[in-house]
């Protein structure tokens, strides 16, 4: 019981974290039609900025706020210098150019911070375990991730669904040419959306940083997960990204936790212990393959005609 609750919360936490990453990616994808492989680099930069600023200011919250701002600025600069010129080009051009950006960011980080990873230590008040139900303790920091991510998701929902900016974003996702024709300043909208996506990716990176080490290439594995999520959810759909993120987070975490025991009931224990890790890593890709075979446009296609 205890394990189940704990793993359930871990799944929720991973899912929400992935949502922060996927939300920015799906917005950029849906509105600018830009395949941004470098989104994972922004996640990495968020973590590095946080580790640096926290050490520099000596304050956890202060460092994180500075890191968020820095990632936002970096995102806007990136859009302004490079990515802006890629809109309307072939998806393959995007893949090539942003692949180049990944190479650049990885080596830039190696040059500035060195090849060894960094650690982002938690302040004391975030390391205590909290009793959530009688007898079940859960680390305060992981709980904080869940709360912050849920708050950001809610905020994103309000912004996208209830404000004028959100209306423009949704309009952009369903018909790009039309909102341009209606006289909306698309360039500004694009820069804003990209900055927002970058800040969200940075937030995900810096929140993950105290749990894992801050290292080069940390964004690459999780980027693929984020892509899986937006494809499952339907490109351009925030709602789809949310549902798919939670689904992927849960399946991945619960699969890793419980699949070995399940397999052991069917197979011999030797066979189960070799098959389980591979199978549990594959689960989400299996999920994506099934979703795409059944619904080739994802669960919640954004631009229905």
The answer to whether 23 touches 238, Cβ cutoff 8 Å, is: yes
Judged by CB under 8 A, the residue of 136, 192, 211, 224 near another protein is: 224
Among 18, 4, 31, 55, CA closest to 180: 31
What's the CA gap between 286 and 188, in Å, rounded? 39
By CB under 8 A, tell whether 257 contacts another protein.
no
Measured CA to CA, the distance from residue 28 to residue 32 in angstroms comes to 5
Complex with another protein: residue 181 or 261, whichever CB lies closer: 261
Among 77, 89, 121, 154, binds another protein (CB under 8 A): 89
- For residue 137, the cross-strand partners are 131
Residues near another protein (CB under 8 A), total:
47
Figure out which of the listed residues 119, 155, 262, 289 binds another protein, where binding follows CB under 8 A.
Answer: 289
Report whether 5 contacts 133 (CB < 8 A): yes
User: How far is it, in rounded angstroms, from Cα 263 to Cα 273?
Assistant: 8
Residue among 45 and 149 whose Cβ is closer to another protein = 45
**C-alpha span between 124 and 122 (Å, rounded):** 6
By rule CB under 8 A, what string of x and - marks binding of each residue 18-47 to another protein?
-----------x-----x-x----------
- Say whether 179 sits in a helix, a strand or coil: helix
> Which of 62, 100, 123, 129 is the binder for another protein (CB under 8 A)?
100
Near another protein by CB under 8 A: residue from 61, 62, 91, 121: 91
Q: Closest CB to another protein among 156 and 276?
A: 276
In the chain, where do the E strands start and end? 129-133, 136-139
Site for another protein in 47-86 (CB under 8 A): 82, 85-86
Task: Report the alpha-carbon angle 256-275-228, nearest 5.
Answer: 50
List interacting residues with another protein (CB under 8 A): 29, 35, 37, 82, 85-86, 89, 91-93, 95-97, 99-108, 110-111, 220, 224, 227-228, 231, 235, 274-275, 277-279, 281-282, 285-286, 288-289, 292-293, 296-298
């Amino acid at each position: 019981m205890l394990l189940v609750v704990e793993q359930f919360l871990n799944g929720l936490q991973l899912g929400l974290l992935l949502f922060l990453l996927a939300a920015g990616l799906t917005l950029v994808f849906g509105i600018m039609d830009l395949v941004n492989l470098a989104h994972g680099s922004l996640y990495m930069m968020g973590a590095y900025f946080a580790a640096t600023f926290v050490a520099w200011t000596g304050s956890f919250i202060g460092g994180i706020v500075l890191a968020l701002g820095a990632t936002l600025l970096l995102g806007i600069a990136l859009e302004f210098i490079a990515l802006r010129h890629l809109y309307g080009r072939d998806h393959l051009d995007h893949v090539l150019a942003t692949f180049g950006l990944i190479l650049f960011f990885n080596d830039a980080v190696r040059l500035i911070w060195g090849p060894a990873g960094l650690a982002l230590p938690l302040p004391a008040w975030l390391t205590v375990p909290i009793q959530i139900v009688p007898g079940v303790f859960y680390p305060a920091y992981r709980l904080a991730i869940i709360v912050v991510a849920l708050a950001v998701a809610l905020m994103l929902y309000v912004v996208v669904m209830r404000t004028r900016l959100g209306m423009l974003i949704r309009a952009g996702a369903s018909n790009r040419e039309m909102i341009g024709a209606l006289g909306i300043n698309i360039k500004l909208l694009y820069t804003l959306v990209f900055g927002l996506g970058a800040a969200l990716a940075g937030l995900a990176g810096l929140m993950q940083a105290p749990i894992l080490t801050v290292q080069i290439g940390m964004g690459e594995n999780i980027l693929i997960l984020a892509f899986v999520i937006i494809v499952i959810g339907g490109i351009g759909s925030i709602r789809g990204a949310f549902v798919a993120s939670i689904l992927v987070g849960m399946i991945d975490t619960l699969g890793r936790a419980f699949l070995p025991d399940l397999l052991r009931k069917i197979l011999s224990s030797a066979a189960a212990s070799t098959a389980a890790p591979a199978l549990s890593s594959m689960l989400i890709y299996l999920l994506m393959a099934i979703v795409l075979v059944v619904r080739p446009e994802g669960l919640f296609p954004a631009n229905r005609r």
